[in-house]
Structure 1
């Protein structure tokens, strides 16, 4: 009996280590946060790590909310928000913002799918990408400022929630669309192979859980907004690209994050100016 308990305990420890390794993989892929050198990597493991994308988002959101809470004791709200946005860009290396800009350049700059994909792979920033990125960052600043003006706790909670829930939505597109980029060195290709129902469920449950602490009406409104966005964005990508690329996932994260902030401002701000 003691041998059986020992074997079961060993299996549990190994399983926990394997899941922690997957989290580290997701963390290293989406952020500049250091991870243990002992982390194991393979394309297959990175594909499995998609289940923890929303957890990485919540981790980022926790860091941002903590920084905002501390900074609020020393600086005015506008400075706090700018610093938080800067910290966010530093943590992720502007990973998702780059995807949004590249997608805007590609889809806005050509009519043929092959040319759109080629433009999206170009590291140079074009007019469509620059304008889209500017508007997105400006809107994010003003929405966060509006939330902070309503209530500091609301502002901090929105930072935490949106970081996780937006990545859950973006990650859910992996199994909903075909992967269209054929470049062998594409960073997102290992993520596009397979996503099981269990992985997708865990991804969504982690992302949605913080939303359960808000009023029931806001929960339904937020989920409805994100569902409609995901449905339309999916059809939009199919029409213009025939599927998704890694840049599209970054764009989905940024756009859904903005929609969450916009929904919160509309709900708690009562539309007042």
Structure 2
């Protein structure tokens, strides 16, 4: 394990304090991406603490978990979700405007609504999981979502210069599949429905290929949020079952 790359992955995906890394080069993002699922599992562990520690007050547990989720990630993927929602809203009648709006740093009505709805959905789903026997499955939700970014970046070309372009890392598919196996083993024990991530990642990639022909950094962020919500839904369905 390369400690430097793990630190870089942690710095990029979270707001957690880490040792300073000097002389950072943008291309190093390619190399540190292999640790994204590991960082995702650490994020999930933080989310599990309130869900299991305040199990008798599910709504309080859900609020604390959601606050931790937004804080530790710095709302990185929510920002991408908002930008994509604005772009889709503006391109409803004029598809050519999608990329133009995507590059606009301002957040419009569609973006605000998307963020609010996403946070409400996560809050309700987290409350359903709080204190349940499958609550530990939350550890694997962010891990699988960040594994999916490896898949999307390996199978989709970048739409524009930026994060998606730097995410065209040299990590080969054997590395992606190795992480799939590593995550699948605890998933089978903790929360089998999360194996939905295995077909879901290619389906989302297929959607972006047909819709846009590629992917951008904002699309990666939006897809991560969608993946997390769908996996939470799968966990809640298991609880209800």
Q: TM-score scaled by structure 2?
A: 0.88
* d(CA) in 2 for partners of 1:102, 1:207: 30
* d(CA) in 2 for partners of 1:50, 1:245: 16
Corresponding residue number in structure 2 for 1:146: 128
Report the RMSD for the aligned CA atoms in angstroms: 2.3
Query: 2:221 aligned with 1:239, yes or no?
Result: no
Q: Shift of the alpha carbon at 1:21?
A: 1.1
Query: 2:99 aligned with 1:117, yes or no?
Result: yes
Q: Which among 142, 153, 158 is matched to residue 179 of structure 1?
A: 158
Count of aligned positions: 240
Structural mapping, 1:220-231, within 5 Å: 221-223=193-195, 225-231=196-202
Corresponding residue number in structure 1 for 2:180: 204
Q: Which among 168, 172, 177 is matched to residue 147 of structure 2?
A: 168
* d(CA) in 1 for partners of 2:180, 2:27: 21
Corresponding residue number in structure 1 for 2:69: 88
Q: Which among 8, 13, 17 is matched to residue 34 of structure 1?
A: 17
Structure 2, gaps ≥5 residues long: none
Query: 2:171 aligned with 1:195, yes or no?
Result: yes
Structure 1, residues 209-251: CA drift from partner, whole Å, max 9, x if none? 430213xxx63x543x334433332222123221001111112
Bigger CA radius of gyration:
1
* d(CA) in 1 for partners of 2:180, 2:58: 32
Structure 1, residues 11-33: CA drift from partner, whole Å, max 9, x if none? xxxxx4xx111111111111111
CA contact (8 A) 1:55 1:207 kept: no
Query: 2:45 aligned with 1:62, yes or no?
Result: yes
Corresponding residue number in structure 2 for 1:249: 220
CA contact (8 A) 1:174 1:191 kept: yes
Structure 1, residues 50-108: CA drift from partner, whole Å, max 9, x if none? 111111100111122224444x17x8221221121111111111001111121121123
Structure 1 pair 229–66 and aligned structure 2 pair: CA distance change class (3 A): same
Structural mapping, 1:213-224, within 5 Å: 213-214=189-190, 219=192, 221-223=193-195
Structure 1, gaps ≥5 residues long: 1-15
